[in-house]
Amino acid sequence: MLNALVEYAERQLPNSEPGFRSREVRWSVELAGNGGFLGVVPLGDGKRGQDQIRCPDMHGMNAGGKSHFLVETAQTVGLLFKPNEDPKKIAGTKVKHQFFADMLCMAGTTIPTLSVLSSVLVDEERLAQIRDALSEQKAKPTDWIGWRIDGADPRENPDVQNWWREWRRTDLVDSATAENGDSEVGGDGEMLCLLTGESVAPLPTHPKIIGLSSVGGLGTGDVMVGFDKASFGSYGLDQSANAAMGAGATQKYVDSLNDLIRNHSYKLGHSLVAHWFKQQVAQKDDPLEWLNGFEPQESTEASALASAKRLLSSIRNGKRADLGNNYYYALTISGASGRVMVRDWMDGRFEDLLRNVEAWFSDLEITKWDGQGVAFDPKFYEVCLALIRNDRSKSIWKNLEQLPAPTAASLWKAAVRGLSIPQSIMAQALGRFRAERFHPNDQKREVFDHARMGLIKAYFVRLKPGGDATMTAYLNPDHPIAAYHCGRLLAVLANLQRAALGDVGAGVVQRYYAAASQTPGLMLGRLVGNARNHLGKLEGGLAYWYENQIADVMSRLKDSAPRILDLEGQGLFALGYYQQLAALRAGNKNATSESITEHGEPK
């Protein structure tokens, strides 16, 4: 896994180097060549700041009193605090601010541009102007601040970068000599790097991974490799010498993971999934983008299933040999007590991934509730939402917090690896189908979630190696299992009641679905007997049509309906009920089709 991250940095992040990192900078303080304050300019698109590479990254920050060089937060640069800030924090930040100003003053003795900047930071009047401008722009104390002096960013100046490299190298050597502190120069001598195989001085502590605060991590960052307790060590080795890695390779895996979390990750329950490819893949050819993307499928040119089939065909006929030789990587992570927790790791051939994603969308394929074609391919988050109570007044991610992490991980692995769907997940989908079958504000209006029905279908498709041909997207009158036809029969009886009596309040479905889906042998005979009364209220042609429908379904039950249905039987009952209703609507045999909608929306 770490080797794959190092390879990613070597291909995609050529600027990865110890002592530097990318940061999301939200504001640029503009200064004239003589140090005059010109204003504060926002960076980025308003939602996110601008990614800036080669921001100097200070080592040994845990010691306290230090700041990063040149690029820092508004709190450290301009002494911008939130109201009622803790006096101890204010005092500590002032120490960091002084360190920041001293570093610039030191650099300014050899780099004239930075002497201009250091003069601003010791001038209380100009510092107050910067602070007031940041406040007017509603900058947060934690926002990162960059600079432009006479139209140029000093961060990009090669002289500034070289000064920082030399200062850092000297400071690390001095620190190691004094106390074997946080440096690339360890006290354990040279060891073989686990990532490169080269003889290196092991890095005692590794840089932090940023961006996991939404999944249990710390806002200040979490470490992937760390040995902060004696019980974690072995053979008398200190800190990260227990997993020896050189500074260069360490920086590469850290930069890669930070970049992937920021630009190529998706929230999955209480974890993040980051994915990438050995050879870069265009977004339109990315199968995992089809799974996770947020663009409504209606607005895309083709469905994800069609795209997967087309791309697979191109690989097999040699038109896209580049993809056939490619590999994918998927990492599931979260944070816990300052550490990065690796929840799952998957890698494999791109073609296998594409085949599994094609199978995923094929297995989920289900007819629309009105029978007019198949539903659009659901995104992965929609499938997850189908398992929980979806409060539409809340955001998608707020709702998804209800989904247990193991459930999300199991479903994700089933999609990417082509595995069977656990019975517990099918049971959750079936439970939500029962609980949310009617609109909360109108108990006469049925609600169907296509992703939920597709997931129930996919469970049965994947029960058999190679799939189950009897589980189709549309109604299958020849399905071999009686439970499926029991659901069909209830759908026909419900439609017959509506056609004969119109709106009767609590009808057959509202009153008998739960009992019929669990004990059809006890309930369906009674309901069929009562249907004779409804047939008498219909015109001859329609009565004859419904009588034939009932007879056809009853013939599939052979001797009798099952007395009791287990969990899988109840799932087949639900599918039969849904697909039969869709078929009836497609055949225009229901006078009240508006009573059934997807997600409770009117037709």
Separation of CA 541 from chain center: 54
Residue 296 has pLDDT above 50, yes or no: no
pLDDT tens-digit series, residues 314-353: 888 888 888 888 999 999 999 998 999 999 999 999 999 9
**Of 58-62, 127-131, 383-387, 472-476, minimum mean pLDDT range:** 58-62
Least confident of 202-206, 356-360, 418-422, 489-493: 202-206
pLDDT per residue as tens digits for the range 408-440: 889 999 999 999 999 999 999 999 998 877 655
- pLDDT, tens only, 20-46: 999 999 999 999 999 999 999 999 988
The secondary structure of 471-484 as a DSSP string is: --SS--TT-S-HHH
By the 8 A CB rule, do 22 and 209 touch? no
**What is the model's pLDDT at position 406?**
84
Give pLDDT, residue 444.
56
pLDDT at 4: 94
The tens digit of pLDDT for each residue in 524-549 reads 988 988 888 888 888 878 888 998 99
Q: Is the dihedral of CA 387, 391, 392, 398 positive or negative?
A: negative
CA distance 420 to 410: 10
Q: How far is CA 558 from CA 25, 482, 485, 563, in A?
A: 71, 8, 11, 13
Helix 2-12 × helix 247-263 angle, to 10°: 80
Q: Which tokens go with 89? A: 């924090």
Q: In b/e form, how buried is each residue of 447-463, taking b as 16+ CB within 10 angstroms?
A: bbbbbbbbbbbbbbbbe
Q: Residue 228 and residue 336: Cα distance in Å, rounded?
A: 15
Whole-model pTM?
Answer: 0.81
In the structure, what pLDDT confidence band is assigned to residue 603 with cuts at 50, 70 and 90? very low
pLDDT-derived band at 282 (thresholds 50, 70, 90) equals: confident
Residue range 145-172, pLDDT digits in tens: 999 999 999 999 999 999 999 999 998 8
Contact 100, 67 (CB under 8 A): yes
**What is the predicted pLDDT for the residue at 474?**
95
Q: What is the pLDDT of residue 393?
A: 77
Contacts of 434 (CB under 8 A, 6+ apart): 513, 514, 517
- 508 Cβ partners below 8 Å, 6+ apart? 490, 493, 494, 497, 527
Express each pLDDT in 480-501 by its tens digit: 999 999 999 999 998 898 888 8
Residue 445, pLDDT score: 62
The rounded mean pLDDT for the chain is: 87
User: CB of 325 within 8 A of CB of 277?
Assistant: no
Q: pLDDT tens-digit profile of 87-121?
A: 999 999 999 999 999 999 999 999 999 999 999 99
Residue 75: both structure tokens together = 């709190």
Q: How confident is the model at residue 505 (pLDDT cuts 50, 70, 90)?
A: low
H-run or E-run covering 312: helix 304-316
Find residue 276's DSSP bridge partners: 329
